[in-house]
Structure 1
Amino acid sequence: MKSVKCPTCSRKVMKYGKTRAGVQRWFCKVCHLSFTNVYNDATKIFQSFLNWLFSKKTQKDMPGQGRTFRRTTKRFWNLWPLPPKIDVSRDVVYVDGIYLSRNLCVLICCDNTHVLGWYVCRTENFRAWSNLMKRIAEPKVVISDGGTGFTKALKYVWPLASHQRCLFHAFCQVRRYITNAPKTMAGRDLLSIARNLFKVKTPEAACAWINELRNWRILYNTFLQEMTTDEYGNKRATHERLLKAENSLLKLVKQHTLFTFIEIADISVPNTNNRIEGGVNAQLRDMLRAHRGLSLERRLKAVYWWCYMHSPRPLSISEILKVMPTDESISLIYQRFNEREKVDYSIPQWGDGLAWNELHRSTEFPTYWD
Structure 2
Amino acid sequence: MGRAIQSDFGLTDRGFRKKTAWCWEIEVPQPGPTGEIHRQVIFDGTYFSGWCVLIAHKGQHVLGWQWCDQEKKAAWEALLKQLPAPDVVVTDGGTGLRAALDQQWRHTRIQRCYFHIYAAVRRHTTLAPRLPAGQEILGLTRDLMRVRDLDAAVAWMGAYASWEARWESFLKQRTYARAGVDRPSWVKPNQAWWYTHIRLRRVQGLYRQLLRDRSLFTWLEDRFHTEGSATVERTTSRLEGGPNNAIKHLLRGHRGLSESHARSAVDWLLNTMIEHPHDPWMLAHRHREGTAEPARRRFIAEEHIGPATYGTAATAEEGLWGRSGWAGMP
* Bin of the TM-score, shorter chain as denominator length: 0.7 to 0.9
Equivalent-residue separation in structure 2 for 1:119 and 1:247 (angstroms): 31
Cα 1:345–1:270 change in 2 (3 A) is closer
- Aligned-pair CA distance for 1:150: 1.5
- Aligned-pair CA distance for 1:294: 1.4
Structure 1 counterpart of 2:258: 295
Q: Which sections of structure 1, spanning at least 5 residues, go unmatched? A: 1-53, 335-343, 347-370
- Aligned-pair CA distance for 1:121: 1.1
- Aligned-pair CA distance for 1:262: 0.7
Structure 1 counterpart of 2:136: 189
Give CA deviations for 1:198-236 in whole Å, capped at 9, x if unaligned: 122222222221222221122122222222234566321
Structure 1 counterpart of 2:267: 304
Structure 1 counterpart of 2:49: 101
Letter in 1 for 2:171: L
8 Å contact from structure 2 (residues 26, 287) kept in 1? no
Structure 1 counterpart of 2:207: 249
8 Å contact from structure 2 (residues 46, 52) kept in 1? yes
Q: How does the TM-score come out when normalised to structure 2?
A: 0.77
The DSSP-based 3-state class of the residue aligned with 1:163 is strand
Which protein has the larger Cα radius of gyration, Structure 1 or Structure 2?
Answer: 1
The DSSP-based 3-state class of the residue aligned with 2:95 is coil
Give CA deviations for 1:175-206 in whole Å, capped at 9, x if unaligned: 11111111111111110011111122222222
Q: 2:6 aligned with 1:59, yes or no?
A: yes
Counterpart selection for 1:179 from 117, 126, 132? 126
Structure 1 counterpart of 2:37: 89
8 Å contact from structure 1 (residues 58, 290) kept in 2? no
8 Å contact from structure 1 (residues 85, 136) kept in 2? no
Higher-RCO chain (CA-CA 8 Å, sequence separation at least 6): 2
Written as runs of structure 1 = structure 2, the 5 A alignment for 1:59-208 is 59=6, 63-64=10-11, 66-87=13-34, 88-102=36-50, 104-208=51-155
The DSSP-based 3-state class of the residue aligned with 1:236 is strand
- Number of aligned residues: 280
Cα 1:176–1:333 change in 2 (3 A) is closer
Structure 2 counterpart of 1:279: 242
Give CA deviations for 1:24-54 in whole Å, capped at 9, x if unaligned: xxxxxxxxxxxxxxxxxxxxxxxxxxxxxx1
Q: Which sections of structure 2, spanning at least 5 residues, go unmatched? A: 184-188, 299-307, 311-330
- Aligned-pair CA distance for 1:345: 4.5
Equivalent-residue separation in structure 2 for 1:253 and 1:181 (angstroms): 26
Which one is further off, 306-315 or 108-117? 306-315
Counterpart selection for 1:237 from 195, 201, 215? 195
Q: 2:219 aligned with 1:261, yes or no?
A: yes
Moved segments of 4+, more than 4 Å: 230-233
Q: Percent identity?
A: 33
Equivalent-residue separation in structure 2 for 1:57 and 1:236 (angstroms): 58
Equivalent-residue separation in structure 1 for 2:224 and 2:66 (angstroms): 32
Taking only aligned residues, the RMSD between alpha carbons, in angstroms, comes to 2.7
8 Å contact from structure 1 (residues 226, 237) kept in 2? yes
Equivalent-residue separation in structure 2 for 1:60 and 1:255 (angstroms): 56
Letter in 2 for 1:224: L
Cα 1:101–1:245 change in 2 (3 A) is farther
Cα 1:333–1:90 change in 2 (3 A) is closer
